[in-house]
């Protein structure tokens, strides 16, 4: 690879256990196996020289590229358009199912639509984050890349000669495979890469067509379960597919993003590994998925969350903020010094040291999700409820302390207002659950503590001189997390205290409709440098505007956000001052908050239209 593509110049494909990123020029530059959080096989995204990649693209031809998804699916089509002709590369991963497996397939099919082009194929894996060497084994019907800990089988699609035309056009470059082939109009070819594969074989066109049709039909049948028929349906459905792609089918856990160490500032140090399940992120996804009708996904996640609640409650410990997709919690953070990082953004981190932080707000998100699921008939077992009671009892005795906050500050702990608000949510939803279901719990104590939290937030979390809720007690800094206060029911959107807070956030944290989390200059987080605006916060802003009755402003801000998505409707974590997407990509929180904003705004616009009709 000659240079780094823009973060947004990628499409996402996956099989519900792992995923890959494909650039606009036909390069797979990020792929980990057998799980999202496994070591990489291709990681040129983090080091263009050392990371490894798999590229199929025209050779010695001037072309432009266009990329799209096959409608209703995550099957990616990259089109190469030149004066000599038009070709398409189709990339997808067949869904693996709910049993964890080491065997994953990445299918790459090339079709010459018009004219003629010569193609160059380069398969250059670098196993274990480029820490392991490998050998290329030539077999009768294909190739095997073999390292100490893994294998990657290269299975050509028949007719082989159309993509790899002659024996002299194939060569071993130090263990990497480089090949050339000329395709004429109507020709096709392809490759199926397989992890943990056996003897390579030539795959017939009929077999690969069957794999394609099965994958296409799986995703379209899944999407048909959506009951959303409102505005912005295409963006909502693309976000739903993206969230599904980031869900680990064997457990139902959703990762925050399929990438690691993509920077929040190009050349900066805010480079984190997001290939894990945040209780906060996935719990907020429950509202989005239920709103679209995907109750099965919610049920699977709640089973996973129930286990984490049992583990915490039975030991009378708080929830951890994040886990691996299998529920384990060893996320030791390490630095890959041998990789230069995306566009020189170092350090390249794997693992996540924030996993052991105390963040009080996650208990509110967990109980919020449990309450929403219960309203839809997805109820917890007796044993899980007993563990939930222990967890809520723990919170009653520990909510009034400093913590690391929603933004995982690596500075000193503080008394974050949002953490107190979400502790209030945890107790409030626990009371509602116990009351509605008739299950036991110390409702008297829970109510007393809930009311104490409420009064404390109103007394210490609101700065009367500024007329706004603040990030932390005894401070004056604003925090975009407060935009969620009306959505969780802590304040009403018409409350003057809230309206003045919204106005202050608009003045200080909103830039051309995009929202910063906070001002790191006045709220040190223990890290150097600055960051972009947070997509999640902008979508929260849309919902806050809508709930405050400012529907025109909300709709304009929402549709402005569409201009910051990439060509496929995908969002990273942040938007840079240049308008580029930055941070890990695609980001689950961006897409689930897009869905939640669409649901709320669509309902309020419908209500307004209905009111006009009846005047």
Q: Are 564 and 574 in contact (CB under 8 A)?
A: no
Instruction: Please state the rounded mean pLDDT for residues 55-75.
Output: 97
For CATH 2.70.98.10, list the domain ranges present in the chain. 7-223
- In the 8-state DSSP scheme, what is residue 481? G
pLDDT number for residue 528? 61
Pairing of strands 176-184, 53-58: unpaired
pLDDT number for residue 410? 76
pLDDT number for residue 131? 98
Task: Say yes or no to pLDDT of 87 above 60.
Answer: yes
pLDDT number for residue 365? 97
Order of strands across the sheet with 574-575? 533-534, 574-575, 581-582
Q: pLDDT tens for residues 328-377?
A: 999 999 999 999 999 999 999 999 999 989 999 999 999 999 999 999 99
pLDDT number for residue 492? 97
pLDDT number for residue 409? 83
Q: pLDDT tens for residues 449-465?
A: 999 999 999 999 999 99
- The H-or-E segment that residue 392 falls in is helix 382-398
CA-nearest of 593, 594, 545 to 283 is: 593
Q: pLDDT tens for residues 262-300?
A: 999 999 999 999 999 999 999 999 999 999 999 999 999
pTM of the model: 0.97
Task: Say yes or no to pLDDT of 167 above 70.
Answer: no
pLDDT number for residue 610? 92
Instruction: Please state the rounded mean pLDDT for residues 441-450.
Output: 98
Q: pLDDT tens for residues 237-270?
A: 999 999 999 999 999 999 999 999 999 999 999 9
Pairing of strands 105-124, 85-92: antiparallel
Q: Look over the chain and give the mean of its residue pLDDT values, rounded to a whole number.
A: 95
Task: Give dist(CA 468, CA 462) in Å, integer.
Answer: 6
CB-count exposure of residue 221 (10 Å: 0-12, 13-18, 19+): exposed
E-strand spans in 494-597? 510-511, 514-515, 533-534, 574-575, 581-582
**CATH topology classification for 225-608:** Glycosyltransferase (1.50.10)
- In the 8-state DSSP scheme, what is residue 273? B
**Percentage of the chain modeled with pLDDT above 90:** 91
Task: Say yes or no to pLDDT of 1 above 90.
Answer: no
Q: pLDDT tens for residues 469-509?
A: 999 999 999 999 999 999 999 999 999 999 999 999 999 99
Task: Say yes or no to pLDDT of 573 above 70.
Answer: yes
**Contact residues for 612 (Cβ-Cβ < 8 A; gap 6+):** none
**CATH topology classification for 7-223:** Beta-galactosidase; Chain A, domain 5 (2.70.98)
Q: Are 418 and 408 in contact (CB under 8 A)?
A: no
pLDDT number for residue 297? 96
Task: Give dist(CA 276, CA 259) in Å, integer.
Answer: 10
Q: pLDDT tens for residues 518-561?
A: 987 766 666 666 789 999 999 999 999 999 999 999 999 999 99
**The two structure tokens encoding residue 50:** 């050392």
pLDDT number for residue 197? 78
Instruction: Please state the rounded mean pLDDT for residues 288-317.
Output: 94
Instruction: Please state the rounded mean pLDDT for residues 204-213.
Output: 97
pLDDT number for residue 523? 66
- In the 8-state DSSP scheme, what is residue 478? -
DSSP 3-state of 194: strand
Instruction: Please state the rounded mean pLDDT for residues 147-151.
Output: 96
For CATH 1.50.10.10, list the domain ranges present in the chain. 225-608
pLDDT number for residue 313? 85
pLDDT number for residue 314? 85
Cα-Cα end-to-end distance for the chain: 63
């Amino acid at each position: 690879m000659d240079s780094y593509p823009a973060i947004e110049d990628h499409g996402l494909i996956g099989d519900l256990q792992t995923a890959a990123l494909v650039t606009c020029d036909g390069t797979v530059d990020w792929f980990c196996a057998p799980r999202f959080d496994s070591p990489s096989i291709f990681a040129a995204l983090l080091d263009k020289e050392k990371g490894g990649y798999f590229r199929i693209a025209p050779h010695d031809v001037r072309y432009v590229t266009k990329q799209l998804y096959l409608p209703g699916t995550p099957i990616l089509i990259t089109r190469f358009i030149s004066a000599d002709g038009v070709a398409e590369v189709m990339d997808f991963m067949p869904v693996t199912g709910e049993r964890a497996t080491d065997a994953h397939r990445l299918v790459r099919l090339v079709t010459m639509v018009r004219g003629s082009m010569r193609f160059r194929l380069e398969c250059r894996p670098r196993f274990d984050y480029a820490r392991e060497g490998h050998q290329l084994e030539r077999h009768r019907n294909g190739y095997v890349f073999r390292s100490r800990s893994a294998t990657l089988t290269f299975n050509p699609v028949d007719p082989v000669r159309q993509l790899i035309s002659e024996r002299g056009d194939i060569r071993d470059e130090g263990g990497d495979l480089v090949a050339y082939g000329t395709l004429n109009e109507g020709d096709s070819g392809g490759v199926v890469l397989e992890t943990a594969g056996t003897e390579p074989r030539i795959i017939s066109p009929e077999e690969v067509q069957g794999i394609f049709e099965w994958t296409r039909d799986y995703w379209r049948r899944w999407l048909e379960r959506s009951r959303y028929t409102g505005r912005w349906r295409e963006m909502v459905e693309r976000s739903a597919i993206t969230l599904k792609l980031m869900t680990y089918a064997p457990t139902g856990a959703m990762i925050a993003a399929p990438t690691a160490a993509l920077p929040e500032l190009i050349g900066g140090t805010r480079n984190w590994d997001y290939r894990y399940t945040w209780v906060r992120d996935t719990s907020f996804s429950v509202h989005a998925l239920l709103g679209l009708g995907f109750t099965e996904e919610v049920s699977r996640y709640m089973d996973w969350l129930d286990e984490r609640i049992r583990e915490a409650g039975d030991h009378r410990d708080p929830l951890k903020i994040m886990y691996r997709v299998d529920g384990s919690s060893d996320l030791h953070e390490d630095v890959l010094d041998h990789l230069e990082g995306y566009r020189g953004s170092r350090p390249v981190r794997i693992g996540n040291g924030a996993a052991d932080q105390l963040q009080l707000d996650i208990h509110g998100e967990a109980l919020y999700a449990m309450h929403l699921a219960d309203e839809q008939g997805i109820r917890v077992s007796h044993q899980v409820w007993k563990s939930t009671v222990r967890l809520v009892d723990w919170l009653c005795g520990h909510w009034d302390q400093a913590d690391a906050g929603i933004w995982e500050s690596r500075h000193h702990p503080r008394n974050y207002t949002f953490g107190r608000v979400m502790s209030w949510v945890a107790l409030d939803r626990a009371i509602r659950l116990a009351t509605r279901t008739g299950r036991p719990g110390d409702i008297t104590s829970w109510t007393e503590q809930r009311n104490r939290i409420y009064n404390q937030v109103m007394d210490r979390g609101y700065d009367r001189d500024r007329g706004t809720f603040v990030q932390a007690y005894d401070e004056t800094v604003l925090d975009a997390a407060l935009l969620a206060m009306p959505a969780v029911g802590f304040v009403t959107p018409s409350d003057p205290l809230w309206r003045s807070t919204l106005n202050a956030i608009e003045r200080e944290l909103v830039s051309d409709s995009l929202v910063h989390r906070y001002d790191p200059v006045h709220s040190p987080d223990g890290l150097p440098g600055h960051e972009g605006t947070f997509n999640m916060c902008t979508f929260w802003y849309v919902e806050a505007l809508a709930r405050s009755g400012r529907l025109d402003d909300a709709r304009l801000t929402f549709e402005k956000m569409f201009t910051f998505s990439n060509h496929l409707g995908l969002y990273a974590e942040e938007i840079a001052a240049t308008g580029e997407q930055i941070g890990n990509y695609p980001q689950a929180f961006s897409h689930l908050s897009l869905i939640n904003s669409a649901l709320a705004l669509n309902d309020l616009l419908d209500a307004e239209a209905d009111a006009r009709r009846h005047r």
